[in-house]
């Protein structure tokens, strides 16, 4: 009798398992997917600025050109350090030495040797922009290339997290609207991926001014807000 009860119990359990598996098979067979792309845009203030200060020297020979470029560059760095800008915030971005030539109808003409060096100086104190340019010009810089306002790595990471979260919510809202409109029901997220994230620093060009004019103009340059954009793609399973 006990043996019969055991076999009956096993049979019932097997039927239950088969019924559950059969339901899952039928349920999964009735599902499909819905894709939604979410987008977001943040408008935030930059917290850092970069200034490119350079020197271009033409001399009869290569050694004199290089020595003069080095002298001016070192004088600029010393001036910046004196005003509290550390060497960690000063980067040599470009160094070149080449023979400067002019091509005429009779052939090449050597004008001498040109040495160029460019420093990239960064700071979080926007009031120092004019001061940086002034130090550069005072010590012999004859090229003030650009002033660029941008996000520090910490701020960029913070805004990226927020932008992706906003884009994900935007995708969810779109998916729910499409599901409601089509009479479907969202079951779960099948896949999610970040398709795009970017922001563009604001760059103010100083290529057309030099000397005292560059110092005066740089003192009036103000930062502008930057746009941070994110896009995500989410695939939902629906029924």
Model confidence, pTM: 0.78
Does residue 229 contact residue 44 with C-beta atoms inside 8 Å? no
CB 238 within 8 A of CB 31: yes
Predicted pLDDT at 22: 43
* Cα angle: 84, vertex 88, 92; to 5 degrees: 110
Give the tens place of pLDDT for each residue, 52-107. Answer: 999 999 999 999 999 999 999 999 999 999 999 999 999 999 899 999 999 888 88
The CA distance from 184 to 181, in Å, is 8
Residue-wise pLDDT tens digits, 173-185: 999 999 999 999 9
Bridge pairing between strands 90-104 and 48-59: unpaired
pLDDT of 172 over the 50 cut: yes
Q: What residue ranges define each of the domains in the chain, with the CATH number in brackets?
A: 48-150 (3.30.70.2970)
Report whether 160 contacts 215 (CB < 8 A): no
- Looking at residue 163, its pLDDT comes to 97
């Amino acid at each position: 009798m006990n043996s019969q009860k055991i076999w009956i119990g096993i049979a019932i359990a097997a039927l239950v398992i088969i019924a559950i598996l059969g339901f899952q098979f039928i349920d999964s067979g009735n599902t499909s997917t819905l894709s939604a792309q979410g987008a977001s845009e943040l408008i935030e203030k930059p917290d850092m600025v970069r200034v490119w200060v350079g020197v271009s020297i033409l001399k009869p020979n290569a050694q004199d050109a290089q020595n003069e470029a080095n002298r001016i560059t070192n004088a600029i760095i010393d001036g910046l350090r004196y005003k509290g800008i550390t060497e960690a915030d000063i980067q040599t971005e470009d160094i070149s030495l080449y023979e400067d030539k002019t091509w005429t109808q009779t052939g090449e003409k050597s004008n001498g040797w040109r040495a160029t060096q460019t420093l990239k100086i960064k700071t979080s104190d926007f009031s120092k922009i004019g001061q940086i340019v002034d130090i550069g010009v005072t010590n012999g810089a004859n090229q003030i290339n650009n002033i660029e306002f941008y996000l520090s790595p910490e701020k960029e990471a913070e805004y990226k997290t927020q932008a992706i979260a906003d884009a994900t919510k935007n995708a969810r809202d779109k998916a729910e609207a499409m599901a409601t409109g089509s009479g479907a029901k969202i079951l779960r997220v099948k896949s999610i991926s970040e398709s795009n994230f970017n922001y563009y620093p604001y760059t103010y060009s100083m290529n057309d001014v030099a000397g005292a004019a560059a110092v005066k103009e740089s003192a009036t340059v103000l930062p502008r807000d930057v746009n941070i954009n994110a896009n995500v793609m989410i695939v939902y399973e629906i029924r």
